[in-house]
Amino acid sequence: MASYSVGDCSRRGLIVRNEINIKLPSLSVNEGMARAAVAAFCVQADPSATELADIKCAVSEAVTNCIVHAYRDTIGEIQLRVRIYNEGLVNIEIKDRGCGIEDVRRAREPLYTTDAEGERSGMGFTVMENFCDGVRVTSRPGKGTTVTLTKRLQDRFSAT
Amino acid sequence: MIKTKADIAIRVHADVMDVRLPCEIDHHSAVRVRRMIDESICAHRPKTLRIDASGVDFMDSSGLGLLMGRLSLMKKLKGELILSHPSPAALRMVRLAGMERIITIETNK
Ligand SMILES: Nc1ncnc2c1ncn2[C@@H]1O[C@H](COP(=O)(O)OP(=O)(O)OP(=O)(O)O)[C@@H](O)[C@H]1O
Ligand SMILES: [Mg+2]
């Protein structure tokens, strides 16, 4: 199979096999479409049903955060980039140019929310952390936030 | 109106209000579900709100916010909330948040 190489992926011998980029406006009606599109793309990496459900849920959390927090009271652009690497590694980047997060460490704590009156439970980052193998958050107040989710799919065909 | 799995169903008999959640609970659907449940609660003032989550294929943290919000509303009205037959997807979220300790869950088993 011809490999498709992009930038920083030579690290640890990782090769990008496939990639999609999606841009969408921060309308709540797009939440279902965004997670379904990412899941549909990931199917080629042969995830289990549970792994696919994990990915859907984590993506839903990150995209919803862009809609309800980053672009609160406005509509902005959300960028999704999904990469499938060799060795069953999936990398999903969710990027906004919204309000940013002052204190990322605090934001990631379970039950922490800045929107209690909107009936948010403050569990979004906890869900992402539980359903993925890696969650990286980089944010600059006033500039925006990038959440990078990493999921390592189990190889169900080679004996371990 | 044709009722589909994708839609919420609400039934009130005596002082029990039964709600069947739609198959996907995210932020987008939760806004509408919350409005419909709260309108019905205000109109009927039930003693028991029973939320049937057996048909929930997808739920994210918005579903937790929805359940927590209804729980506090029912407490304010001196009523109770029962989560009925949560699907694996719903139960997984409830457990992750430790909510099984504060919400009454009804199952067959
Ligand atoms: N993309 C973002 N832009 C700006 N702020 C964000 C973003 N994502 C998260 N936050 C901040 O981090 C906090 C915690 O996020 P988290 O998703 O864990 O909980 P929540 O969204 O408040 O509630 P829930 O996800 O349970 O509905 C949010 O309340 C918000 O202040
Ligand atoms: Mg959130």
pTM for the whole structure: 0.93
Residue-wise pLDDT tens digits, B46-75: 999 999 999 999 999 999 999 999 999 999
Angle between helices A124-131 and A49-65 (to 10 degrees): 150
Angle between helices B27-44 and A31-42 (to 10 degrees): 140
Q: What is the ipTM metric for this complex?
A: 0.92
Q: Are residues B97 and B64 in contact, defined by beta-carbon separation less than 8 angstroms?
A: yes
Alpha-carbon gap, residue B47 to B31, rounded angstroms: 23
Q: What is the DSSP string of A16-32?
A: EEEEEEEEEE--GGGHH
Q: Are residues B27 and A67 in contact, defined by beta-carbon separation less than 8 angstroms?
A: yes
Tokens of A17: 């096999």
Contact A31 B96 (CB under 8 A): no
Task: Give A53's contacts in chain B (Cβ within 8 Å).
Answer: 58, 89
Q: What are phi and psi of A137, to 5 degrees?
A: -125, 120
Angle between helices B61-76 and B27-44 (to 10 degrees): 10
Q: Would you list the domain boundaries of chain A?
A: 14-152
Task: Kindly report the number of other CB atoms within 10 A of residue A140's CB atom.
Answer: 12
Between the ranges A8-17, A29-38, A116-125, where is the mean pLDDT highest?
Answer: A29-38
Mutate to test the pocket of ligand 1, among A69, A132, A138 (most ligand atoms within 8 A of CB): A69
> What number is the average pLDDT over the span A87-97?
96
pLDDT at position B82 over 60: yes
Confidence of residue A116 (pLDDT cuts 50, 70, 90): confident
- Kindly identify which residue of chain B lies nearest to residue A32, measuring between CA atoms: B26
- Mean pLDDT across chain B: 94
Contact A64 B64 (CB under 8 A): no
| Sign of the CA dihedral with A96 first, then A99, A105, and A108 last | negative
Q: Which of B41, B52, B105, B51 is nearest to B78 (CA)?
A: B41
Alpha-carbon gap, residue B44 to B99, rounded angstroms: 26
User: For this structure, is A51 an active site residue?
Assistant: no
Q: What is the total residue count of chain B?
A: 109
Number of domains in chain B: 1
Which CATH class name applies to A14-152?
alpha beta
Alpha-carbon gap, residue A42 to A149, rounded angstroms: 13
pLDDT at position A159 over 70: no
Contact B60 A57 (CB under 8 A): yes
The residue with tokens 């959440």 is: A147
CATH code of B31's domain: 3.30.750.24
User: Which residue segment(s) compose the domain that B23 sits in?
Assistant: 2-106
Percentage of chain B with pLDDT > 90?
Answer: 92
Confidence of residue A158 (pLDDT cuts 50, 70, 90): low
The residue with tokens 């379904």 is: A36
- Cα of first residue to Cα of last residue in chain A, in angstroms, is 24
- Cα of first residue to Cα of last residue in chain B, in angstroms, is 34
Which pLDDT score, from 0 to 100, does residue A1 have? 41
What is residue A148's three-state secondary structure? strand
